[in-house]
Amino acid sequence: MPGMRSLWQLSGQILRKQKPSVVSDYSYFVNDLAKGRKPSPLRELMKMLATASSDIIFLAEGLPHGDTHPFNEARFSLKDGSHITLSGKTLTSALQYGPTEGYPQLLQRLREFQERFHNPPGLDDRDIIATVGAQDGLCKMIELCMDFGDPVVVPAPTYSGVLAMLRPYRPEFLSVKEDKYGMCPYKLRDELNRYWSISHNSMLKPPKFLYLNPTASNPSGTVMPIERKKEIYEVASDFNLLILEDDPYYFLHFDDKEPQSFLSIDTEGRVIRFDSFSKVFSSGLRLGFITGPRPLMQVVEYHMQASVLHTSSLSQVIALKLLDQLGWDGFIKYMENIREFYMKRRNFMSEVAKKHLQGKAEWTMPDGGMFLWIKVNGVPDVYDMVMKRGVHGKGVMFVPGHAFMPDPTLPCPYIRASYSLAPLEDMDQGFARLAELITEEKKLHLK
C-alpha cells in the first residue's frame, strides 16, 4: 500500500498538470474534531428569526426582555463634530443576542466592503462572519485545520499571536524567510520541496495551509506586491494549500493606493481572509470579519455557536452606524488620515533610529503598519539585553525578536520597536537608551 507521502506527491503532480485547480473538497482541510461540530438548534432558530417576517410569534429563544435593559440611549460624539445615537429598536437589538454569523445589516455592509476593496471572483460562494477581532477568526480557522504534529507554513518572522495558536499543536514549522517584500515565493517552493523530499518517512502529513500577513506585516513592516502574491498563490495551488490572509493593517500601508489582496485573485477558492476594525476604528470594539469559502465558514460558524455565540452586537451596531455615516468615500478619506498619522510617526522613528543607531543596528524603512524591525549588530542574542538590562536597568521596553520566531529558544538579534503610541520625545529618549544598551552589551560580551 503506498504511504501518504507518495499518494500526496502523486496528487500534487496531477494538480500541477491540471491547473487551475479549484478546491472541490474542503473536508480534506477539516480535522475530525471540527467535523464533529453540528449546528446548534437554538442558534439556527436565531438565524431564522433574523430573516423571519415581522409578524411571526416568537416563543422559541430565551432572549432577555429589552424592558429590563438599564440603558435608554447610547450617544457617541465623533471627532468630526457629528453624532451617532442608538435608541429605540436599534439600541434594543444592539443590546440583545444576535445571529452567530453577525448583525445582518453589518454583514450586508461587509459584503459591499469586500466587493469594493477586493472584488473577489465568486463572492456569492463565500460567506462572511463577524468575529471577535481578526484574532478569534484566525484561532477558529486554525483549530479547524490542525492536528497534533501537522506541518504549517509560516513566514519568518511571524506574528506572535499566530505562533501562540500553533505551538500547542507541536507543529513542524516550515518557515520561509522574508525579504523586503515579505515571504519569498522561491524559498517557499524550496521549503515545500525539501519537506516532501524527506525520504526516510513515508507517513509525512501534508501541510494544509500557509499563514501570511501581507500588508505592513507585524513585525517586519513589509508590504507584499501583487506580483509576489500571484507567485505565492501559484505555489499554494501546486501544493494544495489554503492561504490564511491575515490583513488587519490593510489600510495602514504607506503607498498611494490599497494593495491588491490574495482574496482578489482567488480563482480557486483557497483564500480565507481576516479583516479587522482594530487598527482603524478601535481595538476595544473587538470586531473583525472572516471571509472564506462557504463550507469552511460553516464550520467556523458551528464553532462560534458553541463558544462565543456571536461577536458583541453593540460593537457591530456601532461599526455599522459609523460605516453608514462615513459612506464609502468618507471611509476612504478617513483611512487616508490614519495612514498619514502613522506615516509621520514612522518617519520620526526612522529619524531617531538614524540619529542613535547608525552602525549599531540595521533596519529597513517599514512600508506600513506600526513597527520598526531592527537587527542589532554584534549582539547575536538580544533577549537578556532587552528583557533584563533594558526593562530593569535602562527603563526602556521593546519586544525581543524571539517572540516572532517559530523556535523562540534560538538566539535572535532582532527587536521590534513600535511607533504607534509613544510620545515623539519618548521615542528619541528610548532610542538613545537602546544605543547605550547595545554599547554596554557588546562590552559585556567582550569581557
Using CB under 6 A as the binding rule, the residues of this chain from 352 to 381 that contact ligand PMP are none
Confirm or reject binding of residue 278 to ligand PMP (CB under 6 A).
yes
Please count the residues of this chain forming the interface with ligand PMP, following the rule CB under 6 A: 13
If binding is defined by CB under 6 A, does position 164 make contact with ligand PMP? no
Min CB(157)–ligand PMP separation in Å: 11
CA atoms within 13 A on the CB side of 444: 14
Rounded (5°) CA angle 217-335-266: 55
DSSP letter for each residue of 245-304: EE-TTTT-B-SSSPPPPTGGG-SSS-EEEEEESTTTT-GGG--EEEEEEHHHHHHHHHHH
Q: Which is nearer to ligand PMP, 30 or 285 (CB)?
A: 285
Pick the stretch among 47-55, 132-140, 333-341, 401-409 that binds ligand PMP (CB under 6 A). 132-140
Residues forming a β-bridge with 313? none
Q: In what helix (H) or strand (E) does residue 321 lie, and over which residues does it extend? A: helix 313-357
**Strands 83-87 and 126-131: what pairing?**
unpaired
The answer to whether the beta carbons of residues 376 and 414 sit under 8 Å apart is: yes
Q: Which residues contact 23 (CB under 8 A, 6 or more apart)?
A: 240, 242, 268, 269, 270, 293
Q: Give the position of cell 445615537.
A: 85
Q: How far is the CB of 444 from ligand PMP (least distance, A)?
A: 32
- Residue 291 binds ligand PMP (CB under 6 A): no
Nearest distance from C-beta of residue 213 to ligand PMP, angstroms: 4
Going through 46-111 in order, the beta strands assigned E by DSSP cover 73-77, 83-87
Question: Residues 308, 159, 304, CA angle at the centre, nearest 5°?
Answer: 15
Nearer to ligand PMP, 305 or 418 (CB): 418
Kindly state the smallest distance separating residue 23's Cβ from ligand PMP, in Å.
24
What is the x/- site pattern for ligand PMP, positions 304-323, by CB under 6 A?
A: --------------------
Residue 135 binds ligand PMP (CB under 6 A): yes
Q: Does 159 bind ligand PMP (CB under 6 A)?
A: yes
Window of 73-81, 131-139, 237-245, 333-341 that interacts with ligand PMP by CB under 6 A: 131-139
Provide the minimum distance between the beta carbon of 133 and ligand PMP in the complex, in angstroms, as a whole number: 2
- The yes or no reply on residue 283 touching ligand PMP (CB under 6 A) is yes
SS3 318: helix
Binding mask 247-276 for ligand PMP (x = CB under 6 A): -x---------------------------x
Cα(104)–Cα(384) distance, rounded to whole angstroms?
50
Q: Per-residue string for binding with ligand PMP, 200-239, x by CB under 6 A?
A: -------------x----x---------------------
User: In this chain, which stretch among 32-40, 106-114, 127-135, 397-405 interacts with ligand PMP, using CB under 6 A?
Assistant: 127-135
The residue among 8 and 281 lying less far from ligand PMP, judged by its C-beta, is: 281
Closest residue to ligand PMP in the complex (CB): 133
Q: How far is the CB of 305 from ligand PMP (least distance, A)?
A: 20
Beta-carbon contacts of residue 306 (< 8 Å; ≥ 6 apart): 37, 40
Per DSSP, what are the bridge partners of residue 361?
A: 358, 376
Distances (CA, A) of 252 to 150, 334, 353: 33, 11, 21
Nearest CA to 47 out of 99, 102, 104 is that of: 99
Q: Which is nearer to ligand PMP, 134 or 163 (CB)?
A: 134
Which range in 122-130, 133-141, 199-207, 297-305 contacts ligand PMP by CB under 6 A?
133-141
User: Closest distance between ligand PMP and the C-beta of residue 274, in Å?
Assistant: 7
CB of 215 to ligand PMP, least distance (A): 9
Q: Does 175 bind ligand PMP (CB under 6 A)?
A: no
Alpha helices in 70-225 (DSSP H): 88-94, 104-117, 133-145, 160-166, 185-196
What whole-number distance in Å separates Cα of residue 272 and Cα of residue 241? Answer: 11
* Of the candidate residues 104, 161, 330, 378, the single one contacting ligand PMP (CB under 6 A): 161
**Are the CB atoms for 428 and 352 separated by under 8 Å?**
yes
Q: Which residues bind ligand PMP (CB under 6 A)?
A: 133-135, 159, 161, 213, 218, 246, 248, 276, 278, 283, 288
